[in-house]
Structure 1
């Protein structure tokens, strides 16, 4: 049973089968988030998810970056990513229209960032998540 159903901008309906939420800047013990630090954190997250979900393709939705109006520190301007990091496992009907939908499905693990810890649902899901190009990134699997 799916946790949620999401309608992508393309019109494809996908099902959220599992999701992991975490605080984006929660591991920062001192200092402040800046571009290079954020880039390293996002890259580390991507590599970790690719390793943990090796049997599925992984897609990263580039995070929206905010530059608040505060003085820059020694590492440059403060750069904030959305507060919640999300890793979700999604399924849908096959990408290949010739495959039997009873015997096959498509799957994709998606990393995205959002402002709140709400589970995405319907057409109200995060804009970046809804714009995933499923047919270009997901892969078909036999059930």
Structure 2
């Protein structure tokens, strides 16, 4: 059973087993997001995923960054990431075609950003998530 399923641009179907979501700018009380702040958010998200899943490969789907004009750029130029930061544990069939499909699967932790709190879906591609290079990043495992 899975929380959600989606299809990558490569055509591979992946299943979401675990998901952590949070607001990208949770805790930002004053000011506005900048490139430096966003770099820190992205780096921290990847490090937390690596810490939480120490034996699994972690892939960052590079988030879109939107520059915004502001009247008085006190902290530098404004740059926004999508609203929701997601970390998900995905599984799929084995990458190595010589492995027995009944006994093997592939797995990967993905960090991505999205505009809303909706689950990934085969009917609605999630930007960034659908471009994950699964065959290069995922690792095969035995049941």
Q: TM-score band, normalised by the shorter chain? A: over 0.9
1:84 aligns to 2:84 (yes or no)? yes
Give the match for residue 97 of structure 1. 97
3-state SS of 2:80 partner: coil
Q: Is the 8 A contact 2:69 2:77 kept in 1?
A: no
Per the alignment, residue 111 of structure 1 pairs with 111
| Cα distance in 2 for residues equivalent to 1:71 and 1:27 | 23
- RMSD across aligned positions (CA): 1.1
1:46 is matched with which residue? 46
Distance 2:86 2:137 in 1: 18
How many Å separate the matches in 2 of 1:83 and 1:125? 17
Shift of 1:27: 1.9
How far apart in 1 are the matches of 2:35 and 2:127? 22
Structure 2 match to 1:65 = 65
Over residues 17-42 of structure 1, what are the superposed CA-to-partner deviations in whole Å (9 max), with x where a residue is unaligned?
A: 11111000112122211001110111
Contact 1:72 1:78 in 2 (8 A): no
In 2, distance between residues paired with 1:120 and 1:27? Answer: 25
Which is richer in strand? 2
> Gaps spanning 5+ residues in structure 1: where?
none
Distance in 2 of aligned mates of 1:100 and 1:123: 29
1:138 corresponds in structure 2 to 138
Q: What's the TM-score, normalizing by structure 1? A: 0.95
Once the two structures are overlaid, the 10-residue window that deviates more, 68-77 or 84-93, is: 68-77
Residue of structure 1 equivalent to 2:37:
37
- Where 1:67 maps in the other structure, the secondary structure is strand
TM-score relative to the length of structure 2:
0.95
1: CA distance, partners of 2:71 / 2:62:
25
